[in-house]
C-alpha cells in the first residue's frame, strides 16, 4: 500500500503537450476517480502513473520513492484495462497466475494466491475455461482477479465497466467498491461515467484538456464547483447556465436580471463583482421548482421528457436560451405552455467573466 | 428449376475442368514415372504397365537420398531462421515505433520484387567472401533473401492486428519484451507462423537458380538441381522415367505438408487481413 504523488507531471507527444504540469496528492488507501470529457488526458495520466507511457517532465512518487524510470512491475501497480486484455490462449487460472509466474513465485504460492482471488471474485468454477468461453462480466472479474493476485500497492482501472451492459455495470460497481473496502489499497479509476465517479470516489479529479480543473470529495464538487467547467461536468442533467449581468452586488448577495423580466438573488459573495459586470448564473435542474419565488424566470416549454420518477422540462427563455428543470412525478404540462420557474437563491452558482465561481455563502447546506 | 439444373451442371463442369487442369500434369508425371523403356513414349492416359524400376535407378544412379537430405536441411533451416528473424523483426516493426519504420518496411517489400537473376552475381560475391561456396550454408543464406521479405511483412501485419492492451497487460504483469513475444504473441500467431513457414518451405524446397549456382559437387546439390542434371546412359538420352520418378518423390512431401496444415493455412491466410 502506498500514496501516490504527482509533481508537475507533464506529457508531450512530439510537440503536442497532452498533460500540463499536473500536481496531485493521492493518499494511501484512497479511491480516486479521474473524470473528464473524451480526450481530456485522463487515460494518459493513468498510463503515466502505470508506467506504460514515459513522463516527459516532472516527478512521480509512489510510496515515497521516485518511480519515473521504473517499469510497471517495479512500481508495484496493477491495472485493469477497458478491453480486459485477457490472454486468449490461457485459461482463467493461467491468466491470473501469469504475473506471479514471471515473478518466480513457487507453484504452491501461485496456487494459493489464485485460488484466494478466485474465491473473492466467485471465479472458482471457471478456472479451467478460456476467456472466449466467458461472459463480459466474468471476463471483467478475471481481469480484476489477475490484478489482485499480485497484491499491488496501487490499483489502476481504465474505464473497466464501459463494455458492460447497464445492469452488470451497477453490480460490478458495487463489487469494486466492496473490493476497495476489503483490500484498503490505493485505487485510481478512470471513467467518463458520472455515477461511477460520484458513487465510488473518495476524491474526484476533474480533468479538462490536460489540466486539473478541481480536486475534491464528490459532494464538494457537486455543491461548490470552482469554475464553469466543473459545474457543467458534474451533475446530470447538467447545470443550467444563463448569461446575464450584475444588477447589484454585496458581500452576501448578487442580484441579476434574467431574460423575459425574471431575476435572481444569489446568496454568493459578490465583493469581487460590480454592477454591470457580465456573469453567468448557474442553477441545477433538480433545484428548480414550479412555484413563484424571489428568484424566478419564465419561458415556454419546448420539450418534455418523462423519466418515470421525474420529468424534464426544457424551457425556452425570452433570449432563446434553454433551461432544463427536473421535477418529480408525471408532467401535467404540455409542450408550448408557459411556465414560471422558481429557485432558491441559496442554491444558485455565479461565475465571473473568467468562469471562476463566486464563493457561496451557505456552504453545502443542502448536503 | 431447369435453369438451376443447368447452372448446377455448368458449375460442376467448370470444377472438373479446373481440377483436371490443376491435377493432370502431376498425374501424368506419376504414371510416366511408373513406365519403363518404350512405354514411356506411349501417349496413353491410363497406366498400362506398372514398374518401380525408375525409382530404384534414381536412388542407385546418383546420391539422390543425399540430395533429398540436403533439401530438407536447407528448407528446414531456412524456415526456422526466417520465422525466428521474422517474428523478432515483426515485433520491432509492428510494435516499437522508431524513425524510418515505414521506409524500412517498404524497403523490405521492394527487396522481394528484385528478380532473382539481378541479385545472383552480388550474392555470389557474398557467398565467396564468406567462404561458403559449395556448401549448404550458401543456400540457406541465399534462400533467406527470398523468404524473409514476405515472412517479415506477413508477420508484421499480423502482429499489428493483435490488441496493444495484451502487450501492456503483460508488461504490467512484469514481462520483458522477449517474454511478451514468446509467451503471448507466439501462441497467438501460430496460424500465421504455419502459413508463412509453409510458404517459405515451398520456396526453399523448389529453389533452383541459387542452388545451381552456389553448389558444385553432386553431394552438395539440392533436389531441383539434381533432377535437372540427371543424365541418362548416353549424353543424348534424357532419362524421362528417372526425372519423373524423382519429381514425384520430392513433390509428395510438400503435398503431404500442405494437406496436414490445410486448415491452419486457410485461417492463417485470412487472419492477417481481418482481425483473427
| Residue range B119-132, pLDDT digits in tens | 899 889 999 999 99
Using CB atoms, pick whichever of B171, B174, B184 lies closest to residue A87.
B184
**Closest residue of chain B to A96, computed from CA coordinates:** B173
- Report chain B residues whose CB lies below 8 A from the CB of A103: 174
**Closest residue of chain B to A81, computed from CA coordinates:** B165
Q: What is the dihedral of CA A68, A70, A74, A75, to 10 degrees?
A: 20
Torsion A201-A206-A212-A213 (CA) sign: negative
Residue in this structure with the C-alpha cell 490472454, named with its chain if needed = A87
Q: What is the pLDDT of residue B256?
A: 85
- Select from A97, A87, A34 the least CA-distant residue to B165: A87
- Report chain A residues whose CB lies below 8 A from the CB of B183: 98
- Select from A209, A214, A162 the least CA-distant residue to A44: A209
List pLDDT tens digits, range A286-323.
Answer: 999 998 888 999 999 999 999 999 999 999 999 889 99
Separation CA B89–CA B79 (nearest Å): 15
B70 falls within a domain = yes
- Report chain A residues whose CB lies below 8 A from the CB of B179: 102
Least confident interval from A72-86, A223-237, A301-315, B238-252: B238-252
Backbone φ and ψ for A185, nearest 5 degrees, come out as -100, 155
**Closest residue of chain A to B175, computed from CA coordinates:** A102
- Select from A4, A33, A32, A39 the least CA-distant residue to A211: A39
**Contact B165/A83, CB-based, under 8 Å?**
yes
Strand extents, DSSP E, chain A:
4-13, 16-26, 31-35, 57-62, 65-66, 77-80, 154-158, 186-190, 203-208, 211-216, 240-249, 254-257, 263-266, 278-283, 288-289, 295-306, 310-316, 322-328, 338-343, 349-351
Whole-angstrom distance between the N-terminal and C-terminal Cα of chain A?
Answer: 31
Using CB atoms, pick whichever of B163, B166, B172 lies closest to residue A79.
B172
Using the predicted structure, report yes or no on whether residue A220 has a pLDDT greater than 70.
yes
B44 falls within a domain = no
B36 falls within a domain = no
Please give the mean pLDDT across all residues of chain B. Answer: 86
Using the predicted structure, report yes or no on whether residue B265 has a pLDDT greater than 70.
no
Using the predicted structure, report yes or no on whether residue B158 has a pLDDT greater than 90.
no
B260 falls within a domain = yes
Backbone φ and ψ for A187, nearest 5 degrees, come out as -130, 135
A40 shares contact with chain B (CB less than 8 Å):
no
Is A250 within 8 Å of A294 (Cβ atoms)?
no
B172 shares contact with chain A (CB less than 8 Å):
yes
Using the predicted structure, report yes or no on whether residue B138 has a pLDDT greater than 60.
yes
List pLDDT tens digits, range A241-299.
Answer: 999 999 999 988 999 999 888 889 999 998 999 999 999 999 999 999 998 888 999 99
B7 falls within a domain = no
Least confident interval from A39-53, B143-157, B164-178, B223-237: B223-237
B231 shares contact with chain A (CB less than 8 Å):
no
B170 shares contact with chain A (CB less than 8 Å):
yes
- Report chain A residues whose CB lies below 8 A from the CB of B168: 52, 79, 81, 85
**Contact A89/B165, CB-based, under 8 Å?**
no
B145 falls within a domain = yes
What is the average pLDDT across A352-362? 88
Using CB atoms, pick whichever of A77, A78, A87 lies closest to residue B166.
A87
Q: What is the pLDDT of residue B273?
A: 40
Q: Min CA distance, B169 vs chain A (Å)?
A: 6
B178 shares contact with chain A (CB less than 8 Å):
no
**A-proximal residues of B, 53-112, CB under 8 Å:** none
- Report chain B residues whose CB lies below 8 A from the CB of A51: 171
Separation CA A310–CA A290 (nearest Å): 13
Is A206 within 8 Å of A233 (Cβ atoms)?
yes
Backbone φ and ψ for A242, nearest 5 degrees, come out as -120, 120
Tell me how crowded residue B9 is: count the other CB atoms within 10 A of its CB: 10
Using the predicted structure, report yes or no on whether residue B167 has a pLDDT greater than 70.
yes
The CA-CA-CA angle for residues A192, A195, A200, to 5°, reads 95
DSSP string, A340-362: EEEE-GGG-EEE-TTSBBPPBSS
Q: What is the pLDDT of residue A93?
A: 95
**Contact B166/A85, CB-based, under 8 Å?**
yes
B133: cell is 561456396
Ordered by where they begin, the domains of chain A are 4-229 (3.40.50.300), 238-351 (2.40.50.140)
Separation CA B193–CA B189 (nearest Å): 6
Q: What is the pLDDT of residue A307?
A: 92
B165 shares contact with chain A (CB less than 8 Å):
yes
B237: cell is 538420352
Tell me how crowded residue B125 is: count the other CB atoms within 10 A of its CB: 9
Task: With H, G, I as helix, E, B as strand and everything else as coil, classify residue A268.
Answer: strand
B188 shares contact with chain A (CB less than 8 Å):
yes
- Select from B245, B264, B257, B190 the least CA-distant residue to B64: B245
What is the average pLDDT across A103-116? 92
Backbone φ and ψ for A165, nearest 5 degrees, come out as -75, 170
CATH of the domain at B219: 1.10.3720.10
Separation CA B195–CA B148 (nearest Å): 13
**Contact A85/B169, CB-based, under 8 Å?**
yes
Q: What is the dihedral of CA B248, B253, B254, B259, to 10 degrees?
A: 120
**Contact A146/B163, CB-based, under 8 Å?**
no
- Select from A350, A357, A360, A361 the least CA-distant residue to A258: A350
Cα distances from B18 to residues A17, B15, B115, B262, in angstroms, run 61, 5, 30, 19
A159: cell is 474505464
Q: What is the DSSP letter of B182?
A: I
B48 falls within a domain = no
Separation CA A109–CA A100 (nearest Å): 9
Is A38 within 8 Å of A28 (Cβ atoms)?
no
ipTM score of the complex?
Answer: 0.81
What is the average pLDDT across B144-148? 89
Using CB atoms, pick whichever of B165, B168, B174 lies closest to residue A73.
B174
Q: What is the pLDDT of residue B162?
A: 86
Is B134 within 8 Å of B213 (Cβ atoms)?
no
Is A143 within 8 Å of A176 (Cβ atoms)?
no
List pLDDT tens digits, range A9-59.
Answer: 999 998 899 999 999 999 999 999 999 998 899 999 999 999 999 999 999
Is A297 within 8 Å of A340 (Cβ atoms)?
yes
Q: Which of B98, B161, B169 to mutate: most A Cβ within 10 Å? A: B169
Domains: count for chain B: 1
B110 falls within a domain = yes
A338 shares contact with chain B (CB less than 8 Å):
no
- A–B interface: beta-carbon pairs under 8 A: 55
Separation CA A143–CA A98 (nearest Å): 12
Tell me how crowded residue A58 is: count the other CB atoms within 10 A of its CB: 17
Give the distance, in angstroms, between the CA of residue A214 and the centroid of all CA atoms in the same chain. Answer: 11
- Report chain B residues whose CB lies below 8 A from the CB of A89: 187-188
What is the helix (H) or strand (E) element at residue B59, kind and residue range?
A: helix B53-61
Range of the domain at B163: 63-239+255-271
Separation CA A22–CA A156 (nearest Å): 18
Separation CA A114–CA A95 (nearest Å): 10
Q: Which of B161, B163, B170, B174 to mutate: most A Cβ within 10 Å? A: B174
**Contact A50/B183, CB-based, under 8 Å?**
no
- Express as a percent the part of chain A with pLDDT over 90: 72
Task: With H, G, I as helix, E, B as strand and everything else as coil, classify residue A187.
Answer: strand
Residue in this structure with the C-alpha cell 477497458, named with its chain if needed = A82
B257: cell is 505438408
Using CB atoms, pick whichever of B168, B174, B187 lies closest to residue A99.
B174
Q: What is the pLDDT of residue A136?
A: 86
Amino acid at each position: 500500500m502506498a500514496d501516490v504523488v504527482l509533481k508537475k507531471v507533464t506529457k508531450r507527444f512530439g510537440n503536442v503537450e497532452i498533460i500540463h504540469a499536473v500536481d496531485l496528492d493521492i493518499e494511501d488507501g484512497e479511491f480516486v476517480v479521474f473524470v473528464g470529457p473524451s480526450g481530456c488526458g485522463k487515460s494518459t495520466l493513468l498510463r503515466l502513473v502505470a508506467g506504460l507511457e514515459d513522463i516527459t517532465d516532472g516527478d512521480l512518487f509512489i510510496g515515497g520513492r521516485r518511480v519515473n524510470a521504473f517499469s510497471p512491475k517495479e512500481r508495484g501497480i496493477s491495472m485493469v484495462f477497458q478491453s480486459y486484455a485477457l490472454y486468449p490462449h490461457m485459461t482463467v487460472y493461467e491468466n491470473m497466475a501469469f504475473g506471479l509466474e514471471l515473478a518466480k513465485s513457487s507453484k504452491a504460492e501461485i496456487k494459493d494466491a489464485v485460488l484466494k482471488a478466485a474465491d473473492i471474485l466467485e471465479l472458482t468454477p471457471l478456472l479451467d475455461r478460456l476467456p472466449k468461453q466467458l461472459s463480459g462480466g466474468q471476463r471483467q472479474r478475471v481481469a480484476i482477479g489477475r490484478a489482485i493476485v499480485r497484491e499491488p500497492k496501487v490499483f489502476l482501472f481504465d474505464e473497466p465497466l464501459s463494455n458492460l451492459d447497464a445492469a452488470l455495470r451497477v453490480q460490478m460497481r458495487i463489487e469494486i467498491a466492496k473490493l476497495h473496502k476489503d483490500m484498503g489499497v490505493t485505487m485510481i479509476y478512470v471513467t467518463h461515467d458520472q455515477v461511477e465517479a460520484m458513487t465510488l470516489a473518495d476524491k474526484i479529479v476533474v480533468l479538462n484538456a490536460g489540466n486539473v480543473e478541481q480536486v475534491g470529495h464528490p459532494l464538494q464538487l457537486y455543491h461548490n464547483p470552482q469554475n464553469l467547467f466543473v459545474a457543467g461536468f458534474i451533475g446530470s442533467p447538467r447545470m443550467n447556465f444563463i448569461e446575464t449581468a450584475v444588477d447589484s452586488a454585496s458581500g452576501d448577495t448578487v442580484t441579476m436580471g434574467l431574460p423575459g423580466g425574471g431575476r435572481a438573488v444569489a446568496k454568493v459573495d459578490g465583493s469581487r463583482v460590480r454592477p454591470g459586470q457580465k456573469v453567468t448564473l448557474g442553477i441545477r435542474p433538480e433545484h428548480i421548482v414550479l412555484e413563484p419565488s424571489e428568484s424566478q424566470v419564465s419561458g415556454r416549454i419546448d420539450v418534455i421528457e418523462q423519466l418515470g420518477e421525474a420529468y424534464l422540462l426544457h424551457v425556452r427563455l425570452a433570449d432563446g436560451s434553454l433551461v432544463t428543470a427536473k421535477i418529480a412525478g408525471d408532467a401535467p404540462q404540455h409542450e408550448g405552455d408557459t411556465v414560471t420557474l422558481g429557485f432558491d437563491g441559496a442554491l444558485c452558482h455565479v461565475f465571473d467573466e473568467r468562469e471562476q465561481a463566486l464563493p457561496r455563502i451557505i456552504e453545502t447546506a443542502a448536503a | 428449376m431447369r435453369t438451376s439444373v443447368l447452372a448446377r451442371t455448368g458449375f460442376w463442369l467448370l470444377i472438373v475442368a479446373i481440377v483436371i487442369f490443376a491435377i493432370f500434369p502431376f498425374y501424368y508425371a506419376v504414371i510416366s514415372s511408373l513406365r519403363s523403356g518404350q512405354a514411356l513414349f506411349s501417349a496413353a492416359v491410363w497406366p498400362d504397365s506398372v514398374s518401380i524400376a525408375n525409382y530404384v535407378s534414381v536412388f542407385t544412379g546418383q546420391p539422390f537420398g543425399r540430395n533429398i537430405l540436403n533439401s530438407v536441411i536447407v528448407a528446414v533451416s531456412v524456415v526456422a531462421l526466417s520465422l525466428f528473424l521474422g517474428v523478432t523483426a515483426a515485433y520491432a516493426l509492428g510494435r516499437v515505433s522508431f524513425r524510418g519504420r515505414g521506409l524500412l518496411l517498404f524497403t523490405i517489400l521492394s527487396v522481394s520484387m528484385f528478380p532473382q537473376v539481378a541479385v545472383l552475381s552480388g550474392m555470389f560475391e557474398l557467398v565467396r567472401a564468406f567462404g561458403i561456396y559449395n556448401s549448404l550454408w550458401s543456400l540457406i543464406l541465399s534462400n533467406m533473401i527470398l523468404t524473409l521479405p514476405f515472412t517479415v511483412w506477413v508477420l508484421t501485419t499480423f502482429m499489428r492486428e493483435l490488441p496493444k492492451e495484451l502487450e501492456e497487460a503483460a508488461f504490467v504483469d512484469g514481462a520483458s519484451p522477449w517474454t511478451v513475444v514468446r509467451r503471448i504473441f507466439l501462441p497467438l500467431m501460430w496460424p500465421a507462423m504455419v502459413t508463412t513457414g509453409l510458404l517459405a518451405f515451398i520456396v526453399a524446397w523448389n529453389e533452383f537458380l541459387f542452388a545451381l549456382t552456389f553448389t558444385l559437387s553432386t553431394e552438395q546439390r539440392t533436389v531441383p538441381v539434381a533432377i535437372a542434371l540427371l543424365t541418362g546412359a548416353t549424353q543424348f538420352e534424357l532419362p524421362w522415367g528417372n526425372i519423373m520418378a524423382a519429381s514425384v518423390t520430392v513433390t509428395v512431401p510438400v503435398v503431404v505438408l500442405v494437406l496436414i496444415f490445410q486448415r491452419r493455412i486457410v485461417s492463417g491466410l485470412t487472419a492477417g487481413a481481418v482481425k483473427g
